[in-house]
Structure 1
Amino acid sequence: MRGIGVDIVDLDRLDIDNLHFVERILTVEEYQIFRMIHTQQRKLEFLGGRFAGKEAYLKAHHTGLGGIDFHDIQILNDETGCPYLNDKKAHISISHEKKYAIAFVVLEE
């Protein structure tokens, strides 16, 4: 194992109506998915999960904010709904509970 990272986000702190904020977090492809989500709660969970996932990825790399741009990190879902990163050596798990989203990332050597 090369690194691990975890992050938790309070969904109440996210402003999904602030387009500038949302676009700073999401890649173009993630944003297209975000726009297709119909409920506010699910949008919060999606955005919060991506935010927590990208923060956890940065922590696993030991870079913190600013080390890697959020747009260089993409989190999509496979055909079964499991999230995956655009880094083949990274593994991610995302979970939501009411007003929180949490993500855990493990980097292989």
Structure 2
Amino acid sequence: MKGIGVDIIDLERLDIENVHFVKRVLSDKEYQLFLQMNSSKRRLEFLGGRFAGKEAYLKANHKGLGGIDFHDIEILNHDDGSPYLNDENACISISHENKYAIAFVVIEK
């Protein structure tokens, strides 16, 4: 199956102080990275990028929200800072601008 997906999120909708919500979105490894962020702005961008990335991945896989558990989708970073998914058939790009985060996913199988 091949697919593409895109998602955009208004960062102001996210509550980085709500630990339950943050842990619902992020995997354990992602959550550890989130805790290491040194500013609220960076944490918000990180969470928003992961949320948008996971939504875009679900769309690229032709799955609805809940079709794959967010914890099963993991987005980490290469040494150069570029993001990657825990699916070797998928490529992801994440960007932030002011109060928005956007992610684009392409799956080639």
TM above 0.5: yes
TM-score range, shorter chain: over 0.9
Gaps in structure 1 of 5+ consecutive residues: none
For the pair 1:84 / 2:105, whether they are aligned, the reply is: no
In the TM superposition, what whole-angstrom CA distance separates every residue of 1:6-32 from its partner, at most 9, and x where no partner exists? 000100000000000000000000000
In the comparison of the two structures, how many residue pairs are matched?
109
- Show structure 1 runs of 4+ deviating over 2 A: none
TM-score, length-normalised on structure 2? 0.98
Report the CA distance between 1:81 and its aligned residue. Answer: 0.4
2:64 paired residue number: 64
TM-score, length-normalised on structure 1? 0.98
Gaps in structure 2 of 5+ consecutive residues: none
Letter in 2 for 1:47: L
Q: CA RMSD in A?
A: 0.8
Letter in 1 for 2:8: I
In the TM superposition, what whole-angstrom CA distance separates every residue of 1:11-58 from its partner, at most 9, and x where no partner exists? 000000000000000000000000000111110000000000000000
Letter in 2 for 1:100: Y
